[in-house]
Amino acid sequence: MQIQLNGDTKQLAGETTVGELVVALDLAGRRIAVEVNEEIVPRSQHDAIRLAEGDRVEIVHAIGGG
Amino acid sequence: MSERIEDQPLTIAGREFTSRLLVGTGKYRDFDEASRAIAASAAEIVTFAVRRTNLGQDADEPNLLDVIPPSRYTLLPNTAGCYTARDAVRTCKLARELLDGHKLVKLEVLGDDGTLYPNVVETLKAAEELLADGFDVMVYTSDDPIVARELERMGCCAIMPLGSLIGSGHGIQNPHNLRLIVEQSQVPVLVDAGIGTASDAALAMELGCDAVLMNSAIAHARDPEGMANAMRKAVEAGREAFLAGRMPRRQSAEPSSPFAGRING
């Protein structure tokens, strides 16, 4: 299955939840926010939401800015 | 004896602040430099940006939110880099998720890369959507008093006109417009861009602005911690000067020493 992750194409082995993707990216427990197809996926829903072919996923964090 | 006007706290979206200097977290060499400068500024409200995670980053790498913990600072996520209302609204929603329901945001929708001038049409659209969604919106805008008035009417909790272009350090280019905005506004007015050095910050406060927000002026100083300290004093001095009320300007000289009793009189 193929998704767009932070603007890049990414292959997923099989059925994957948002939570599993976050763990696979070594981002578990970090201060991040996730959006799928321009909709926020609340932290509490990470393990419930399954990704689908062609999903556009954004994972963001805080960085320095003014 | 003349009456002294006691200052009131700065109130933004129902929260009270002692410091009238807000600072950004960008452009520092490292987190240590940022941390020391922010501490020296005594700022209570600190801005940051929202960006894609660098996938594959070191899991032990410190996070900005460890340096400016939400428990200690009022965090102000910005929408820097957004050129459309849609992207700005998305960014604010991501920030709200990032900070567990946090509602206070700094809305900025830019017009182009060269000037980073606010696109007020998109800014108005984004503000409307964010306010309807329950955000507390501090809004970066041009120094146009009519646009500022409209943003306040819509319900923005602070109006933040530029002094000059973002990152330019050109100071306050149109003090007359800033004064018009200050005089008409019931919500706090903050100068949000263009501050270059301490006298610019003092001027903003002397004009009656409620606070000043800056990043480059501190981060790009040779000694950011030293400049942060200078800015803290400048904002305090400018505020005190505003409250004390400056003397009237005169066309001719007026001696400070009495004429009466001169030895050649």
For the stretch B98-145, pLDDT in tens is 999 999 999 999 999 999 999 999 999 999 999 999 999 999 999 999
Residue B156 gets the label, from left (phi > 0), alpha (psi -120 to 50) or beta, of beta
Q: Does B65 touch chain A (CB under 8 A)?
A: yes
Q: Is the pLDDT of residue B62 over 80?
A: no
Q: Round to whole Å and give the CA distance between B256 and B99.
A: 57
- When the pLDDT of each residue in chain B is averaged and rounded to a whole number, the result is 95
Q: Residue B36: which residues within 8 A CB-CB, separation 6 or more?
A: B224, B225
Residues of A with CB under 8 A from a CB of B: 5-7, 25-27, 30-35, 38, 40, 42-43, 58-66
Q: What's the Cα-to-Cα distance from B209 to each of A7, B60, B74, rounded to whole Å?
A: 41, 41, 20
Q: Is the pLDDT of residue B188 over 60?
A: yes
Q: B66 is written with which tokens?
A: 């460890």
What is the H or E stretch that residue B149 is in?
helix B145-154
Strands of B158-161's sheet in order across: B104-107, B136-141, B158-161
Helices B120-132 and B145-154: crossing angle in degrees, nearest 10, is 10
What is chain A's percent helix, strand, coil content, to nearest 5? 15, 40, 45
Q: Round to whole Å and give the CA distance between B198 and B68.
A: 24
Q: Round to whole Å and give the CA distance between B112 and B74.
A: 29
Asked if residue B37 lies in contact with residue B225, where contact means CB atoms within 8 angstroms, the answer is yes
**Which residues are registered as beta bridge partners of B260?**
none
CA-nearest residue to B28 within chain A is A64
For residue B259, the SS3 value is coil
Best of B51, B53, B100 to substitute, by most chain A Cβ atoms within 10 angstroms, is: B53
Best of A3, A22, A31, A45 to substitute, by most chain B Cβ atoms within 10 angstroms, is: A31
* B196-235 residues touching A, CB cutoff 8 A: 213-216, 219
Best of B52, B58, B90 to substitute, by most chain A Cβ atoms within 10 angstroms, is: B52
ipTM of the complex: 0.96
CA-nearest residue to B31 within chain A is A64
Q: Is the pLDDT of residue B59 over 70?
A: no
**CB-nearest partner of A64 from B34, B90, B213:** B34
Question: Parallel, antiparallel, or unpaired: how do β-strands A33-36 and B15-17 relate?
Answer: unpaired
Residues of B in contact with A37 (CB under 8 A): none
pLDDT at position B11 is: 97
pLDDT at position B147 is: 98
Residues of B in contact with A27 (CB under 8 A): 53, 59
The pLDDT > 90 percentage for chain A reads: 92
Work out the average pLDDT over B244-265: 91
B233 is catalytic: no
Q: Residue B256: which residues within 8 A CB-CB, separation 6 or more?
A: none
pLDDT at position B156 is: 98
pLDDT at position B60 is: 62
Q: What's the Cα-to-Cα distance from A35 to each of A4, B34, B91, B246, rounded to whole Å?
A: 11, 29, 10, 52
Q: Does B79 touch chain A (CB under 8 A)?
A: no
Q: B29 is written with which tokens?
A: 């060499």
